Amino acid sequence: MSGHAFASVIYGRLFVTLPVPSTTTDLSNQTIIVTGSNTGLGLESTRHLSRLGVGKIIMAVRTVSKGEAAKKEILKSTGKPDSTIEIWPIDMDSQDSVKAFAERASQLPRLDGVLANAGLMTTQFTLSEGNEKTLNVNVVNTFLLFFLLLPAMRRSEQQTGFACRFVIVNSALHMAAPLAELDAPVIFDRLNDSKQALMSGRYPLSKLLVLYATREIAERAKSSNKGKFIINSPNPSWCKSDLGKEMESFGYNVAEKIMARSTEEGSRALVHGLLSDETSNGQYLSNCHVQVPAKHVTNQWGQKVQRKFFEELVGKLEAIAPGVTSSL
């Protein structure tokens, strides 16, 4: 972990208590999707949304039975009607699953928020659908979901006047991403090469790439008159969750106990992203505020890599679903 990333975790843990989500907006007619919502940050975010009175929450999960169990637990704690939560299957490591989910979601009468919470952290190199698995889940298929849902998001805004929020979980670890991997003729080729991949830094790098794509999408959408949306990327900081289970050791467990936020407190940052206004568009959020990300995001080198990477990502998404990025 870089010094800046470590300082961010320490500051957030010792000096910041995130506000419990609240809103004066009536959410009873809204529909919000949460991926990876049967456990961890997704579960607690869904609980907050239920408590706040969201009319329809779609818990997008890989295993429906686990989703049903989580739904039962959430409704028991919030006292909301069974009809306010639906369980839909999605596997973020499967392009076909993401396509099927998006096709179904595009039929919804309205779409007010998507919390792309499902993610992967591993140091083991595995190819999945032609991509290293962390990249496939955290980046490629997450933005495939975004672009597949974008027409429905814009249509919803035109009908309701409420801009849909698409929120992708980030991390202060983007500050510690191994930048050498990005100095390549074709970035994806380098990252998908098992002999060159720096898997110890792959999760931080995936979050840096999420920031690049988030910022580029927001910038390119400025000149569009196809309907508004808001995309942002909040950092919940280090939280107690199953995400780091592969890293578990005595030292890790002790550090987690001392420095990690509770899962519930971390989820407040994600719900804040869903409730944020247009000032959050294209932004990195930390401690429930817009924050300046690492200098390798904002400086001239970072801007160049951002554009290059995004063009590669668009090419990859177009190969998966021709025409999918034309809606931007």
Averaged pLDDT, 109-138? 97
Active site residues: 203, 207
Cα four-point dihedral sign 291, 293, 299, 300:
negative
pLDDT at 301 over 70: yes
Q: Which pTM value belongs to this model?
A: 0.91
- For the four alpha carbons of 305, 269, 282 and 46, in that order, the dihedral sign comes to positive
**For position 257, what pLDDT does the model report?**
53
Name the range with the highest mean pLDDT among 4-8, 221-225, 267-271.
Answer: 267-271
The model's pLDDT over 42-98, given as tens digits with 9 standing for 90+, comes to: 999 999 999 999 999 999 999 999 999 999 999 999 999 999 999 999 999 999 999
Across 286-297, average pLDDT: 96
pLDDT band at 4 (very low <50, low <70, confident <90, very high): low
Which pLDDT band holds residue 1 (cuts at 50, 70, 90)?
very low
- Please determine, for residue 115, whether its predicted confidence score (pLDDT) is greater than 50: yes
Per-residue pLDDT at 2:
54
In angstroms, rounded to a whole number, what is the distance separating the alpha carbons of residues 142 and 140?
Answer: 6
Q: How far apart are CA 70 and CA 77, in angstroms?
A: 11
Dihedral pair phi/psi, residue 161, rounded to 5°: 80, 0
Q: Binning pLDDT at 50, 70 and 90, where does residue 109 land?
A: very high
Residue ranges per structural domain of the chain: 3-321
The mean of the pLDDT values for the chain is 91
- Res 326 pLDDT > 60: yes
The pLDDT, as a whole number, for residue 223 is 78
Name 309's bridge partners: none
pLDDT tens digits, 197-250: 999 999 999 999 999 999 999 999 987 778 899 999 999 987 666 665 555 555
Residue partners of 100: CB distance under 8 A and separation at least 6: none
Q: Domain 3-321 - what CATH class?
A: alpha beta
